[in-house]
Structures are given as structure tokens and as C-alpha cells.
Amino acid sequence: MNAAPPRLEPETAEDAPLGVVAVRALCDFAARTGDLDLRFTPSPSGSEGVAGHSEVTSRRGAGYQRELPLSVVWGGLRVQGRADGFDSVAKRLEEIKTHRGDPALIGANQRALHWAQARVYGHLLCEQLALDGVDLALIYFNIDTAHETPLVQRHSAPELRAFFEALCTRYAVWARAERAHRVARDAALRNLVFPFAAFRTGQRALAEAVYRTHSHGRVLMAQAPTGIGKTMATLFAALKAAPGNGKDLGTDKLFYLTAKTPGRQLALHALDKLTQADTPQAIPLRVLERVARDKACEHPDKACHGDSCPLAQGFYDRLPAARQAAAQGRWLSKTTLRQMAREHSVCPYYLGQEMLRWADVAVGDFNHYFDHGAAWHALTEANGWRVGLLVDEAHNLIERARLMHSATLAPAAFQALRQAAPAALKKPLDKLQRRWAALAKTQTQDLEVLPELPGEFITTLQQLCSDIGDHFAQHPQDALDGPLQRWWFDALHVLRVAEQFGEHSLCDLTRDGTGRVKHPALAIRNVVPGPLLAPRWAAAHSATLFSATLAPMDFVAHLLGLPPDTLRVDVPSPFAPAQLAVRVAPHISTRWSDRQASLTPMVELMAAQYAAEPGNYLAFFSSFDYLQQALDRLQHHHPALPVWAQARGMSEPERDAFVARFTEGGQGIGFAVLGGAFGEGIDLPGRRLIGAFIATLGLPQVNPVNEQMRARLQALFGRGYDYTYLYPGLHKVVQAAGRVIRTERDHGTVWLLDDRFARLEVQRLLPAWWHAPRMAQDPPGL
């Protein structure tokens, strides 16, 4: 057996002044050419890829070295990585790629990138072992059939060196500019000044806690009242900490993650103020706004490859100029990025994805970092970035993460698909149909929780998805948005969720209830996202989760899987109890059985409060149906009272118009759904909003699904009812009430319209700065 090659010691910063670049990152930057090609080829999941690599390397004999570390310094740039495997007897270096389907369908641009990575590893190996050449083997391993397809090329050391140096020459120019940018950025951030004359009360305490957290690479839960400027405080502090100090290396990037569009806009506004983006004194900070692909796409009727979309054709040939312009422009909002993309005829969405590598701050939705296969997390791990996370309105992450890690396969859509699917897919579709029918025969009740995943069904679904992927690769026109593509995406999501199934989730079968559909829906429902989120916290250098509603903090920490040493801070409210009159209406019950009886006393109370103090109010309800009933009753009894209402599926302009009705001198009542777009994240200071009516405790509906979740949470944490119903509901209530008092000059009234708000166990969960809610036996003015 040949001895293992010596490992090179890591080079010092003096050896590599241009920094370190991974082999894959170098090739992504400098070796890609031609079209953007995202044809629908089936691909393994991350864990399947790891298992596939292990399977291939386990088949090799003596002298085979796995995960071989290689490193070379060239022109002040250190290039490093781990080669998949090296046969020291045959002198053959292997680059292993897992796949599904026919390897001949792997795109030419993707295959070229794979060969580029193999050649770079080949050069590093030749340098490290002083070889005059090496056999390079690109191994495509089909994870479904366990078949290897080897492609072998012989390269001399001079050939590999020339290829490597050409890539490094291209990358080094960019690396020098990036190094200069980082030095200028860090110098500016060390001198960053808070953009207002003074901190608000409580804002400085929050900023100090965030600064300490990000300076020491910790995780922080920060509860702070609405209206103190949490967005500005957290961004200012995290940016001040970014350059690091003697003990901490600082952060490469800051990810500001939000649940809703208003939160993203508030963050961009704060960053604009902090960086003075439109002034000669602008701080050299690259800020990137990321939106969903369907909101950035210029050609939604075309597929993402050069034969269909003009912006995909030659994308990588035009990308360097677009990337350079974007890097110099620095402020990369959705609008700015779109304009730059148009000027260079590239796809704005994928230009934004490329610029994530070079941004200092990225602002986007939770899913960019926490979802299955989230690009921000994947790039963080692949590139070894030191990332700071700011998680805005973090209480929303619990339900959002549950949705990310849950999936449902509905029988109705599948049956419709079978009728219209291509003939080539009939056999695998029929096989899944038989598996589904067999599963239905085991069901004994309308909602049946299974003790484990139905293994045969999942295996058949995997094969069907592979067959559909092969079909799309051979018939790309069928991959345009349609029933087959949409169902395929849903099925792939089910498989991704199934792969991580465990005690944190439930798997159940649910009958249609109408009798029209024979087969049950198969659902995998995440109950506790914590075990699935824990690796995301571990991948970040530091993180701050902040919200006005993180209490009880054990509840949030348990469900989000935060580290045991997570720091906690509860910032006292700057507001005086006298600013907010909190009143309970014990004569009203909003329980389902009492809804109709509640309408008249509710609207009479609202009208009396409005008559006693005219102005702008928000009224929150548990559902659109309840909202509409109350609105109809109010308009019938008090037709002169101005009202406007949230509607289902409002567009962004419609939501803006709803908020615009709350003017400084306006009067009327806006009707909204608790927990919806207007229950948090909107800022209506002064006389724009003087009161709120909250006609619900916000408790989730008692139904078989929630009862199963309650049972699982009871088993895990011993607080099933509180974790399922009480805490999530009251979070929504406190958020909605927080719209009323936004500054230390505001005054207002909050009406809690349900007798259960008088209970001590409920009042203990309300903000401490509220006076004990006053009982009102009669409506105001009566």
C-alpha cells in the first residue's frame, strides 16, 4: 500500500494575501460559459448525495484515499478543497457526481463545470505529489440503480497547470477588488454612527445586547416592545460588530430575514438611512434585496434555458460585466437589480443569486435560509462564510418553519393528472395508484396518524418522480408551468420532507369527507421544527431573533431548536401605562357557538367607542367570515360610520391602499384578520391609529389535526394545550394591540372583546407595562 500524500499546513495570511477560495467557488466564478440551463433533470437530495459518495468510495480497493485535502497558493490566492477520491496505485483522481435518470441528459454546461472541478483538483494533486500527469475520472453515480458511469481523461501536469492558472488569473483580479472592498467596508463600519441624534428609550439597551452577541459569536433572543425601533437598533449593532476585533474575526455577511414584505421594506429603509446610500458620504456596503423567482422573472412564459429564454441564452458570457456593474452599484434593491439586468441582458433573479456571493447584507424572506435546500444556507456552508443572522418578528418563524417542513399529497390532483398525463408515464402513475389504493384500505377513521412513513408508497413515489424528471429532460416543452410540473414539484417536496421524518413530525391519512374522492390525502406535518432548524443556527456565526412577542421564551426556544446557551433579553417598554387604556368586555364571547350572539353587542361597543373618541381604529377578527358578519352588522346598525375591510388575497397595491386610509386626520374603522398582513409590521403613529378592537383570543381552531399536535407537544414538553393553542393565539393579540402605541407621544385604547381575557392565566401573558385590563360591564358611553 502506498503511503498517503503529505498534507500541506494551512498557509498564513501573508502567504495568501488575496484570501482563500474553494475549488468549487473558483470554477463557479471563472469556468462557467454559455447558457443558463435549468432544464428539469431529477437530482438527489443532499443526504442521498452523501450516501451515494460513500457507496462509490466503499467499492474501491487498497490504496484508495477518500476526501483527500488539497491546497495550493498561486499569486497570493490560496485554492483549496477535498478531492472525492484518489487511487494511488492507478494514479487516478475521481470526481463523483450523484444523479437520477439517464446521465446522457445532464446538460453540457453542467458537465463542463464538473470537468473543470476535476481538472483543478488534478492540478492541486500534481503539485502536491510532484506528478507529471494524472488520470481524471468523472464518476456519475445513479442513486436509484447504484450504477456508475465513469468518464476518464488523461491530462499532463502542464495542461492542468495552464487550465488552473487561466482560472486563477480571472479570479485574482476580482479577489483584489474584493479584498480592497472588505478593508474599506470594515473601516467604515468601525466608524459607523447612529443616524439619529439619540436612541429611543430601550433602543440602546437592545443595540448593546445585539452588539455583544454578534461580537462573540452567540445566539440571542430579544423581546422588545413595538415602536422602539428594533429594525434600526439590530442592524446598527450587527453592522458595528461585523469588522470583528482581536478575538473575533467578525462576519462576512449579514442576513436580515423577515416573514412579510413590510418587514423587508422597513429593513431596506433602515439600511438606506444607515449607509447614506444616495449621498457622496455613502458607506461602501453592498445591500441586496432578494425576492421570489416569480416576482423577479421577466419571461414567466418561458423555461429557464437558452433554447427558450433570451436572458438565459449566453447568460454566463454576459454575467461578468453585469456582476462588475452590480458590485460597483452596491445598492441592489429589486428595482435597481432589475434595471442592471436589463442593461446587460441577463436574468435579474439569477444575477441576484450570483450577487449574494458578493453582498455584505442580504434582505429576504425566512425561506431563503431556513427552507429545504435554501440557497443562502447552502452557500454559507459551501463557502465557509461567517454569517450573522437577524431574524425579524421571530415568533412567526415557528409556523413558517412548520410549513416549510410539512407536505401534503392530495388524491384529487393526482387523479386528474392520470387522465391527462403523457402515455409514457401511464405505467408508473398506475403503480402509484395501486399503492395509494392499498394504503386507503388500512385507514379506519377520517384522520388516522400512522406509526411510521408508508415505506412502499414512498419508494414508488420516488421512482415516479424520477420517471417524470426523465420525461421533462427529453421533452422540455412539457416542463413549462402546467399540471404535471406542479404535481411533480409537490411530490418532490413530499419526498424531501419524508427524508427527514422523525419524532418532530406526524404522518397521517385524511379522508375527503365528501365521499367523492376514494383515496385519502397523505400528509407529513411538522410539529416541532427545532431539530430541523438546529443545523441552520450552527452554520451561522451569530444570530439575533427579535420580536415584541417571544414570551414565554422557553416555548420559542424549544420549538425553534435554539442552542442551550442562547442569551435572552427582555427590553422594558418605554411607554407609560397611562398611554394605553386596555379594556375587557366580559359580556362578549367570541367562541364558535356564541358568534351570532356576539355580533350586536360587539358592534354597539365599537360604535360607542368611536362616538366617544372619533378617529382611526383597527378591528381584528379570527376569520374573514366572522369579519364580514361583523362588518355587515355594523353597517346595518350604523351606516354613517366610515369603514373599510381587508379582503382575501389582496395584492401589494391593495394592501398599501388599505394602510393609506389611516391618515393623520382620518376617521373610521378598518376591519382585518388577526395574524394577517395588518396584524403586525405596519407603523401608524400619532392620530393615524388611536385604538383597536380585538374580537378573538387568536386560538387555533380545535380540530383533529391540532389535537394530534397537542398530544405530541404534551408528550415532548408537557405543555400541549399552551404550546398548541394559548401561546400562539396571544402572540397574535399582543402584536395587533402593538399597532396602537408607536411613540412616547401616542395615546390610545385597546378593547379585548372576549370574556376569557379576564382570566388570570391569560392576563399573565399580556405585556407587563399594560395596566391590569379594566373590566367594562357596559359599553363606553352607555
Give the tens place of pLDDT for each residue, 222-262.
999 888 899 999 999 999 999 998 666 789 999 999 998 88
Give 65-96 pLDDT, tens digit per residue. 999 999 999 999 999 999 999 999 889 999 99
Which residues are CB-neighbours of 214 under 8 A, at least 6 positions away?
Answer: 237, 238, 241, 242, 251, 388, 541, 542, 544
Check residue 13 and give its pLDDT: 44
d(C-alpha 681, C-alpha 392), whole Å: 10
* Burial state string for 244-257 with b = 16 or more CB within 10 A and e = fewer than 16: beeebebbbbbbbb
d(C-alpha 360, C-alpha 330), whole Å: 9
Check residue 775 and give its pLDDT: 59
Residue 116, φ and ψ in degrees, nearest 5: -60, -45
Low-confidence ranges of the chain (pLDDT < 50): 1-14, 777-778, 781-782
The burial class, CB within 10 Å (0-12 / 13-18 / 19+), for 218 is middle
Q: By the 8 A CB rule, do 232 and 273 touch?
A: yes
As a whole number of Å, the end-to-end CA separation of the chain is: 95
Using CA atoms, how far residue 653 sits from 649, 650, 657, in Å, is 12, 8, 6
The burial class, CB within 10 Å (0-12 / 13-18 / 19+), for 451 is exposed
For residue 284, the tally of other CB atoms under 10 A from its CB is 17
Q: By the 8 A CB rule, do 773 and 607 touch?
A: no
* Burial state string for 302-337 with b = 16 or more CB within 10 A and e = fewer than 16: ebbbbebbebbbbbbebbeebbeebbeebbbbbebb
Q: Which residues partner with 775 through β-bridges?
A: 584
Identity at 710, one-letter amino acid code:
R
d(C-alpha 291, C-alpha 239), whole Å: 22
- For residue 130, how far is the Cα from the chain centroid? 46
C-alpha cell at 1: 500500500
Taking Cα atoms as reference points, which of 556, 456, 559 lies closest to residue 504? 559
Q: By the 8 A CB rule, do 713 and 719 touch?
A: yes
Identity at 115, one-letter amino acid code:
W
3-state secondary structure 506-541: EEEEECCCCCCCCCCEEEEEECCCHHHHHHHHHHCC
Question: Given 3-state DSSP classes, what are the helix, strand and coil percentages for the chain, each rounded to the nearest 5?
Answer: 45, 20, 35
Check residue 782 and give its pLDDT: 41
Check residue 46 and give its pLDDT: 74
Using CA atoms, how far residue 405 sits from 126, 195, 564, in Å, is 44, 40, 23
C-alpha cell at 463: 421512482
Check residue 108 and give its pLDDT: 83
Check residue 514 and give its pLDDT: 62
For residue 437, the number of C-alpha atoms closer than 13 Å in the C-beta half-sphere is 7
Which residues are CB-neighbours of 70 under 8 A, at least 6 positions away?
Answer: 23, 80, 81, 82, 83, 121, 124, 125, 128
d(C-alpha 455, C-alpha 355), whole Å: 41
Structural Rg of the chain based on CA atoms:
29
pTM of this structure: 0.89
> Which alpha helices (DSSP H) does 130-202 contain, by range?
157-190
Check residue 612 and give its pLDDT: 96
Check residue 6 and give its pLDDT: 30
Taking Cα atoms as reference points, which of 372, 352, 371 lies closest to residue 363? 352
As a residue count, the chain comes to 782
